[in-house]
């Protein structure tokens, strides 16, 4: 099995529907009070033409997308208390379930890190939702470490 990682084009969007549905279902299952069971594909359509974002795809063949990663760049707001830096944030990373544990996620993260570094980022950050232990274990195995924790309370 040969996977090609490349920058997505707008014409890839229909082929990414199954990948996006996988992510939408996962998020809606682990946090139904936070996520809808659809919407990622529509959100990805706004990535194109944005200089501070990239959407990379993992392609099994020209008609089979098996994963994606969307990364955004941001600069630290100019506040006296914050150290200035450009950071890249992984907004979405998803692999179709039957293609997991084959190195595709690692390939996508490596490509996103290369894009971020070339754009001047000094750090790659991401969010893992509570109850997504598989993703947390995967990221920790690659050297990612917690830097903050968000807490919520329903009113």
Question: What pLDDT does 47 receive?
Answer: 86
pLDDT band of 86, cuts 50, 70, 90 = very high
Mean pLDDT, residues 22-36 = 87
pLDDT band of 41, cuts 50, 70, 90 = confident
Q: Look-up: residue for tokens 């830097």?
A: 147
Q: CA 72, 144, 54: angle at the middle one, nearest 5? A: 20
Listed in sequence order, the DSSP H helices in the chain are: 13-30, 40-44, 104-118, 133-141
Between 39 and 83, the more confident residue is: 83
Helix, strand, coil content of the chain in percent (nearest 5): 35, 25, 40
Question: What pLDDT does 38 receive?
Answer: 79
Q: How far is CA 155 from CA 21, 152, in A?
A: 30, 10
Whole-number average pLDDT of the chain: 92
36 has pLDDT over 90:
no
- How many CA atoms lie less than 13 Å away from 128 in the CB half-sphere? 14
1 has pLDDT over 80:
no
Model confidence, pTM: 0.91
In order of their start, the domains of the chain are 4-141 (3.40.630.30)
Q: How far is CA 114 from CA 56, 94, 101, 120, 123, in A?
A: 12, 18, 22, 10, 11
Question: What pLDDT does 97 receive?
Answer: 94
Question: What pLDDT does 94 receive?
Answer: 95
25 has pLDDT over 80:
yes
Nearest to residue 18, comparing CAs of 90, 71, 91, 68?
Answer: 68
Instruction: Answer for the pair 91, 112: CB distance below 8 angstroms, yes or no.
Output: no
């Amino acid at each position: 099995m040969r996977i090609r990682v490349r920058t997505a084009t707008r014409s890839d969007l229909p082929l990414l529907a199954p990948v996006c549905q996988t992510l939408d279902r996962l998020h809606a299952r682990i946090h139904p009070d936070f996520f809808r069971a659809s919407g990622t594909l529509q959100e990805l359509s706004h990535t194109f033409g944005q200089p501070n974002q990239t959407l990379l795809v993992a392609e099994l063949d020209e008609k089979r997308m098996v994963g994606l990663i969307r990364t955004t760049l941001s600069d630290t707001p100019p506040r006296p208390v914050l150290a200035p830096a450009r950071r890249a944030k992984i907004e979405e990373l998803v692999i179709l379930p039957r293609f997991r544990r084959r190195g595709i996620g690692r390939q996508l993260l490596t490509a996103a890190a290369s894009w971020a570094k070339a754009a001047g980022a000094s750090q790659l950050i991401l969010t893992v939702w509570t109850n997504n232990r598989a993703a947390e274990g995967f990221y920790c195995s690659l050297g990612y470490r917690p830097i903050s924790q968000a807490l919520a309370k329903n009113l």
